[in-house]
Structure 1
């Protein structure tokens, strides 16, 4: 099975993952990820096209599309989900979602020293807040996703770029920011491997509805006020 995986919850990233259904893990065939958190729309489609060309694949060769559904800022997250939906429609390919924070959780558990206790994954939500989720030492989601101020998080090890940005506030509240992950962002490659492990266990993925956790800043204008006579 060939999966095209997309995540734009923080940076723009895409990956092609191969998975044999009798195996517990998949393999990343190709991937790209930007460092910029504001150029998703410009780089995503060309990046996906380049991955397909590199692997000599056509849209009809993709068996499933998996997209990160956040949490994340509106503009970036919409870019990835809209692209995934458009490709799924054009290629008549099944589409599923997965929480973007699961990508960092997968990286944490795949590391040289996985945590022996519960841990948090946190990314930057802007407005001096973080998106976060709490996981068991085995990677089971226990709480979240949520958006909060850093000093409202549980006093646990914190992995992800949210930890690096708000280190002082987190540590003053009793959390421990893991330095080797203080710049980590969700990537499509890790999200795809997390999705494969879930599928291998017979678990369902999510739908592709975005998890914004906030209302949009853009508001529909109310009725125009009548001019004074």
Structure 2
């Protein structure tokens, strides 16, 4: 099957096409990425269409959509998840949501910490053992994450700027990949409703006047 992947949980506005075989093996066909935390809405659709074209197929050849559901900023997640749902609905194909951190951690071996930018001097994080999540996702200050994990992890992956806050060897996996998103789907036969992993309330709040 041909799978369209979308992730906007990080500054990387990512779209890809992956061919998934019946035995579960994945073959990434194309990927378009724009690293710009302010360009999710502007860049996602061009990246999707570009990735489909680069894969040598048309949107009519897509059999499923997989989208990263965070954790991530409110606006970025909303753009990616709404777009994924719209593409799937228009094409009449299922849409699967996965934890975006899983699409990074699934590529790792051993005990690995995956971190991405949560702003407010915090990180979104999860702990993986041989590619399987064993703790998280959560949001905390880097010092608190280090205290929780102590010496149980051997390396860190994800946002380079935030990975550098930990005294651990850094891995090359930085952003959710199309192959990682596809591999993170737990059940292809039973797509579940998309649920965003915000982990905290959005910064924008209604004014007192608006609530009355």
- TM-score w.r.t. the length of structure 2 is 0.86
Is 2:136 the partner of 1:135?
A: no
- CA displacement 1:86-105 (0-9 Å, x = unmatched): 11111111111010001111
Q: In the alignment, what sits opposite 1:42?
A: 42
Question: Does structure 1 retain, via aligned residues, the 8 Å contact 2:115–2:162?
Answer: no
Q: In the alignment, what sits opposite 1:92?
A: 92
* Greater percentage in strand: 2
Q: In the alignment, what sits opposite 1:16?
A: 17
Is 2:204 the partner of 1:212?
A: no
Question: Does structure 2 retain, via aligned residues, the 8 Å contact 1:164–1:179?
Answer: no
Q: Distance in 1 between matches of 2:58 and 2:122?
A: 41
Question: Does structure 2 retain, via aligned residues, the 8 Å contact 1:104–1:159?
Answer: no
* Structure 1: runs of 5+ lacking an equivalent: 109-113
Q: In the alignment, what sits opposite 2:171?
A: 180
Shift of 1:203: 8.5
Q: Distance in 2 between matches of 1:77 and 1:225?
A: 25
Shift of 1:221: 2.5
SS for the counterpart of 2:67 is strand
Shift of 1:184: 1.2
Q: Distance in 1 between matches of 2:195 and 2:52?
A: 25
SS for the counterpart of 1:12 is strand
* Structure 2: runs of 5+ lacking an equivalent: none
Shift of 1:162: 4.5
Is 2:38 the partner of 1:26?
A: no
Work out the number of aligned pairs and report it: 206
Alignment RMSD, CA only?
A: 2.5
Question: Does structure 1 retain, via aligned residues, the 8 Å contact 2:106–2:132?
Answer: no
In terms of Rg, which structure is larger?
A: 1
Q: Distance in 2 between matches of 1:166 and 1:103?
A: 16
Shift of 1:82: 1.1
Q: Distance in 1 between matches of 2:6 and 2:30?
A: 12
Q: In the alignment, what sits opposite 2:162?
A: 165
Q: Distance in 2 between matches of 1:56 and 1:69?
A: 27
Question: Does structure 2 retain, via aligned residues, the 8 Å contact 1:27–1:193?
Answer: no
